[in-house]
Amino acid sequence: MTIQNQTIMHFHPVILSGGNGTRLWPLSRAAMPKQLLALTGQASMLQATLQRAASIPGAQSPLLICNDAHRFIIKEQLQAIDCQATDIILEPAGRNTAPAIALAALKLTETDPAAIMLVLPADHVIDDQERFSAAVLQAIPAAQDGYLVTFGIVPAGPETGYGYIKPGTSIASDANDAVQQIHEVQAFIEKPDLETAQRFLDEGGYTWNSGMFVFSARRYLEELQVHRPDILEAVRQSWTRKSSDIGFYRPNAEAFSECPSDSIDYAVMQKTQKAAVIPAQFGWSDVGSWASLWQIADKDEVGNSIQGDVFVANTHNAYVRAEHRHVAVIGLEDVVVVETADAVLVMHRDQAQEVKHAIQFFEQANRKEHLEHLKVYRPWGWYEGVDEGERFQVKRIMVKPGEKLSLQMHHHRAEHWIVVSGTAKVTVADKEILLTENQSTYIPLGQIHRLENPGKIELHIIEVQSGAYLGEDDIVRIQDGYGRLSNLEGHK
282-327: per-residue pLDDT in tens? 999 999 999 999 999 999 999 999 999 999 999 999 999 999 999 9
Q: Please indicate, yes or no, whether residues 311 and 265 belong to a single structural domain of this protein.
A: no
Instruction: Give the per-residue pLDDT at 179.
Output: 42
> Beta 63-67 vs 12-17: how paired, if at all?
parallel
| Domain end position, chosen among 285, 302, 318 | 285
Q: Please indicate, yes or no, whether residues 74 and 203 belong to a single structural domain of this protein.
A: yes
- Any domain includes 363: no
Q: Extract the residue ranges of the chain whose pLDDT is less than 70.
A: 1-8, 85, 172-180, 485-492
Please state, in angstroms and rounded to a whole number, the distance separating the CA atoms of residues 49 and 60. 14
Please state, in angstroms and rounded to a whole number, the distance separating the CA atoms of residues 251 and 221. 17
**CA proximity to 276, closest of 150, 397, 387, 415:** 150
SS3 372: coil
Please state, in angstroms and rounded to a whole number, the distance separating the CA atoms of residues 250 and 243. 5
Residue type, 297: A
Domain encompassing residue 305: 290-355
Q: Please indicate, yes or no, whether residues 73 and 16 belong to a single structural domain of this protein.
A: yes
- Any domain includes 127: yes
- Any domain includes 181: yes
Instruction: Give the per-residue pLDDT at 178.
Output: 43
Instruction: Give the per-residue pLDDT at 492.
Output: 60
| Domain end position, chosen among 252, 285, 318 | 285
Q: Please indicate, yes or no, whether residues 319 and 346 belong to a single structural domain of this protein.
A: yes
Q: Please indicate, yes or no, whether residues 128 and 27 belong to a single structural domain of this protein.
A: yes
Please state, in angstroms and rounded to a whole number, the distance separating the CA atoms of residues 392 and 374. 16
| Domain end position, chosen among 242, 269, 285 | 285
Q: What is the CATH number of the domain that holds 419?
A: 2.60.120.10
- Any domain includes 2: no
What does the DSSP 8-state code read for residue 241? T
Q: Please indicate, yes or no, whether residues 269 and 346 belong to a single structural domain of this protein.
A: no
Report CA torsion sign: 320, 325, 328, 332: negative
Q: What is the CATH number of the domain that holds 231?
A: 3.90.550.10
Q: Please indicate, yes or no, whether residues 278 and 295 belong to a single structural domain of this protein.
A: no
Q: Are 405 and 450 in contact (CB under 8 A)?
A: yes
pLDDT tens, residue by residue, 145-196: 999 999 999 998 898 889 999 999 988 544 444 445 899 999 999 999 999 9
**CA proximity to 170, closest of 1, 52, 292:** 1
**CA 262 → CA 22, 100, 224, 285, 467, distances in Å?**
19, 10, 11, 23, 45
Q: Please indicate, yes or no, whether residues 303 and 440 belong to a single structural domain of this protein.
A: no
Q: Please indicate, yes or no, whether residues 210 and 226 belong to a single structural domain of this protein.
A: yes
Instruction: Give the per-residue pLDDT at 175.
Output: 41
SS3 content of the chain, % helix, strand, coil (to 5): 25, 35, 40
Q: Please indicate, yes or no, whether residues 278 and 296 belong to a single structural domain of this protein.
A: no
386 Cβ partners below 8 Å, 6+ apart?
394, 395, 396, 462
Q: Give the angle 125-99-23 at the CA atoms, nearest 5°.
A: 40
- Any domain includes 26: yes
- Any domain includes 365: no
Q: Please indicate, yes or no, whether residues 402 and 270 belong to a single structural domain of this protein.
A: no
- Any domain includes 491: no
H runs (alpha helix) in 229-339: 229-240, 253-257, 264, 290-296
For the chain, the domain total comes to: 3
Q: Are 289 and 350 in contact (CB under 8 A)?
A: no
Instruction: Give the per-residue pLDDT at 1.
Output: 45
| Residue 456, CA atoms < 13 Å, CB-side half-sphere | 0
Question: Which residues in 445-463 are b (16+ Cβ under 10 Å) and which e?
Answer: eeebbbbbbebeeebbbeb
**CA proximity to 64, closest of 10, 122, 140:** 122
Q: Are 130 and 235 in contact (CB under 8 A)?
A: no
412 Cβ partners below 8 Å, 6+ apart?
445, 467, 468, 469, 470, 474
User: In whole numbers, what is the pLDDT of the chain averaged over residues?
Assistant: 92
- Any domain includes 5: no
Tell the burial category of 428 from Cβ atoms under 10 Å away from its Cβ (0-12, 13-18, 19+). middle
Q: Please indicate, yes or no, whether residues 255 and 235 belong to a single structural domain of this protein.
A: yes
